[in-house]
Amino acid sequence: MSDVIETTPGWLTPGELELARARMPIVYVEAVPVRVDESGQVTRIGLLLRIAPDGTVSRALVSGRVLHHERVRDALLRHLEKDLGPVALPLIPASPQPFTVAEYFPTPGVTPYHDPRQHAVALAYIVPVAGDCRPRQDALDLVWFSPQEAASPLVQQEMPGGQGVLLKQALAHVGCLP
């Protein structure tokens, strides 16, 4: 999940965020960017490529916090624009019903998801993306995978914290689990 900390005035300072993270679950959204054909069938899944300071390569879904007084759909749009650029044209779902809820615990093993920094409750959505994606911020690149590639051990092992499991759940939801 994104390491970016929002510091907009009126929201949490980094210190307050650290405190809150130790005391209560944090609301997150997660988006699985997909390309679809004319019939809505998923043809490609987009994963962000990140390279950590120690050189470790990892792949990630679009993910981030919901801010105070921000709607879930606005948080989805904001994080997609931040990670995919301003002309990605994401089609935010009309319904707030997520395909699943991923519960990231600071303790590994409670659920399939793990985040050492916090207890995050993430609402997960499939988001078709129609435009050009130009990753910004800490994302180096966005790579499109076929459903088969996305579910392969090679890609799965590059997705830490259980995001590989979440990706497979997304593939199952759209009927593309190999």
8 Å CB contact between 159 and 113 = no
First to last CA, the chain: 25
Using the minimum distance from each CB to a copy of itself, give the nearer residue, 4 or 165.
165
Using the minimum distance from each CB to a copy of itself, give the nearer residue, 137 or 148.
148
> Which x/- pattern over 44-63 shows residues binding a copy of itself (rule: CB under 8 A)?
--------------------
The sign one gets for the Cα dihedral 119, 47, 33, 177 is negative
8 Å CB contact between 121 and 101 = yes
β-pair type (120-128, 62-65): unpaired
Using the minimum distance from each CB to a copy of itself, give the nearer residue, 22 or 51.
22
Confirm or reject binding of residue 42 to a copy of itself (CB under 8 A): yes
CB of 88 to a copy of itself, least distance (A): 12
Residue with token string 């914290």:
161
Task: Give phi and psi for 116, each to the nearest 5.
Answer: -60, -20
Confirm or reject binding of residue 4 to a copy of itself (CB under 8 A): no
3-state secondary structure of 81: helix
For the segment 66-105, give every residue that binds a copy of itself (CB under 8 A): 66-74, 76-77, 91-101, 103, 105
Using the minimum distance from each CB to a copy of itself, give the nearer residue, 58 or 100.
100
CA distance 61 to 146: 15
Name the β-bridge partners of 126: 32
CB of 136 to a copy of itself, least distance (A): 18
Confirm or reject binding of residue 40 to a copy of itself (CB under 8 A): yes
Using the minimum distance from each CB to a copy of itself, give the nearer residue, 50 or 168.
168
Residue with token string 């709607």:
71
What is the contact surface with a copy of itself in residues (CB under 8 A)? 11-12, 16, 20, 22-27, 34, 36, 38-42, 65-74, 76-77, 91-101, 103, 105-107, 110-112, 119, 121, 123, 126, 128, 165, 168-169, 171-175, 177
